[in-house]
Structure 1
Amino acid sequence: MNEWKSTPWGKIPASWGITTIDEASELVTDYTSNGSFKSLADNVKYYDKPEYAWMVRYTDFSKGFVGPFIFIDKNAYDFLSKTKLYGNEILISNVGIIGGVFRCPRLYSKMSLAPNSILVKFKDSDDFYYYWLKSIYGQFMMDSLTIGSVQKKLSKTNFRKMLVPVPPISTQNTIAEILQSIDDKISVNSAINQNLLQQANAILTSYFIDFSRFNGSIPNDWESGTLQDIVDFSNGYAFKSKELLDAPEPGCYRVFKQGHINRGGGFNSGGTKSWYPINKCSTLTKYVLHKGDVLMAMTDMKDNVAILGNTALMTVDNQYIVNQRVGLLRSNGYKNTSYAYIYLLTNSFDFLKDLRSRANSGVQVNLSSTEIKNSPVWIASENINEEFNSLTEPLLTMIMNNDNENQRLAELRDTLLPKLMSGELDVSEIDV
């Protein structure tokens, strides 16, 4: 039986050591390590169009690295010599949002670390400490060293002083391999989904955008209609915030919010932040989501329109209930139209450009139900819609299955993470 010892974040096996980030790492650096504020201002200029190097920010990670990005010229890149990035480094947001931990992507372009993040490289297993920093224990320790009330900050100095565990290197490697194997499978599924979606979008283009399937001409028996001809549209339910649960409990629906919709379209199953008791939903059955429902973001920020009009495709039955400011588009089957056409069309460039041009603009930009329902669409004949469905629905079914598997894998990883990082699960006898 393991013996245990106490740490600021909880108990760990007595055989594990404890040290500071400073002692455990070979490098801790950030943007300001390159010089004084004046020298940085004199030597670093930002560009919003591609330049010599890309500045990597936490906001890029949080948006899935789909842009918009900021860039720097060669002079700035050379000046920022202490924060050049090559891929896979551990980066941590340390201003505003504290403790956002991510790995730098591997790109073919030059990269440099942007302000408001710390770069750390460990002497032992970077992979182990990457997961430890993401765990509840790493998050607790970083939060405990945060300063500031208006704008929170984790200083580089305080981060260096932070205590971390030091398991035997074999234990570090085994824990990291277990967790990495799950993330690798998630990445494989995501890559497969990207390929499947590209195939589905190519079919959409050939049938409904450039009409190459019909030699570039729109068939005479097609109708020029609007979205409301092929969908039953409804707004999400306006839940009272005090009624929502911030942690899952038995007998609850996940509340589908805009955070479940990816930039560019797609379902983010990890976006659940709220739950609602099923026993309170006897009059809310029309808001309960079904597999194949299409969900649209109806609100966005004026100065940074990211997901307005984008849609997600619900992958499961009776597990989610839709929140306000999300539009529910459910296929009505007119002329054999299906969720496949609705989902692919609503995320297409021309459809989004037109829809966003009709948004109401203030501090936020909003889409009205009327404008969404009045969006122009081509309605093909029943035979053509059936043909289109036979080509696209199998692709989208595979995507939904992979999304569901990724959600199960993420839940498994998140369940294992605190148990592995506390030593509750003994991995000394595991051969990975």
Structure 2
Amino acid sequence: MKTNSLDFDAQALREKILDLAMRGKLVKQDPNDEPASVLLEKIKAEKEELVKEGKIKKSKPLPKITDEEKPFDIPDSWEWVRLGEYAEKVTDQVASGSFAAIKENVRKYKHEEFALMIKTADFANNFSKNLTYTDEHGYKFLSNSNLFGGELILSNIGSIGKCFIVPNLKKPMTLAPNSIMVKVPEETLKKFLYYFIQSPVGNSELWKITSGTTMKKFNKTGLKTILVPVPPLEEQSRIAAKIAQLFALLRKFESLLK
């Protein structure tokens, strides 16, 4: 019972740290930082260029954010934005074709084949067992959801709120079913978004788009609409560093207690 109590307290502290971070209360704001509005304009321009080059598809316009939607106030240098506007790409396996087409073109293997099909369960066992593969034809058919390392993967069925960063396994990789991939072009943006999804406010946003009675789920269309509080890029870097530092101290404290 004692260990469970300590584990619970550590988790509550992690959630508090993340909550403070997403409200702009974990690190100080620096008036010299370029405001988040400038960052968002840069992201928009970069996405428009990728669309011109044919590297990504043009996204449908997302609804404007109303004051009533904003769950809390954020610092003046921050901006609220929808995830679909913040991320370079939000997709899943079925974006490559219908269920029938995927069944016809994508064969699955339990022995090593051309490409690894990344499941959220693979992160728990460090990609050491129960892996799923597909052949080269399947990999090419799933080109819209191929992975190259650095993407975020969210479980969108059952374990709502779980988020992982795809490692570079130095082999062809593609997304398995029941997951959504979110790609952001910059390391700092990725780390901040990773922490946001695991934070209480991120979790709350995910549950707003989740439905189902026996099996909870959400889809990529809903995910694109959730609200993200975006700090200036420099502050995102400071926030991620502070979270990493505090989480490392918590892990050390937990191990000492055990």
| Shorter-chain TM-score range | 0.5 to 0.7
Separation in 1 of the partners of 2:171 and 2:77? Answer: 43
Partner of 2:139: 77
Partner of 2:166: 104
**Higher share in strand:** 1
Task: Within 5 Å, give how 1:135-146 maps onto structure 2.
Answer: 135-146=199-210
After TM superposition, the score normalised by the length of structure 2 is 0.66
- Aligned-pair CA distance for 1:134: 1.3
Q: Deviations over 1:2-34 (max 9, x none)?
A: 9xx986443422331101011111111110110
1:53 to 115, 120, 126: 115
SS at match of 1:132: helix
Q: Deviations over 1:119-156 (max 9, x none)?
A: 11235611111111111111111112101112111111
Task: Within 5 Å, give how 1:118-267 maps onto structure 2.
Answer: 118-122=180-184, 125-180=189-244
For the 8 Å contact 1:6–1:12, the answer to whether it is kept is no
Q: Deviations over 1:266-307 (max 9, x none)?
A: xxxxxxxxxxxxxxxxxxxxxxxxxxxxxxxxxxxxxxxxxx
Partner of 1:366: none
Partner of 1:189: none
Q: Deviations over 1:353-406 (max 9, x none)?
A: xxxxxxxxxxxxxxxxxxxxxxxxxxxxxxxxxxxxxxxxxxxxxxxxxxxx77
Name structure 2 gaps, 5 residues minimum: 1-27, 30-66
Letter in 2 for 1:175: I
SS at match of 1:29: strand
For the 8 Å contact 1:88–1:106, the answer to whether it is kept is yes
Letter in 2 for 1:57: K
- Aligned-pair CA distance for 1:91: 0.7
Kindly name which structure, 1 or 2, has the bigger radius of gyration based on alpha carbons. Answer: 1
For the 8 Å contact 1:98–1:153, the answer to whether it is kept is yes
Highest RCO, 1 vs 2 (Cα 8 Å, sep ≥ 6)? 2
- Aligned-pair CA distance for 1:80: 0.6
* RMSD of Structure 2 on Structure 1 (CA): 2.5
For the 8 Å contact 2:210–2:218, the answer to whether it is kept is yes
Letter in 2 for 1:103: I
For the 8 Å contact 1:182–1:409, the answer to whether it is kept is no
After TM superposition, the score normalised by the length of structure 1 is 0.41
Letter in 1 for 2:114: Y
Separation in 1 of the partners of 2:119 and 2:73? Answer: 34
- Aligned-pair CA distance for 1:43: 0.4
For the 8 Å contact 1:17–1:165, the answer to whether it is kept is yes
Separation in 1 of the partners of 2:72 and 2:185? Answer: 24
Separation in 1 of the partners of 2:227 and 2:250? Answer: 32
Partner of 1:117: 179
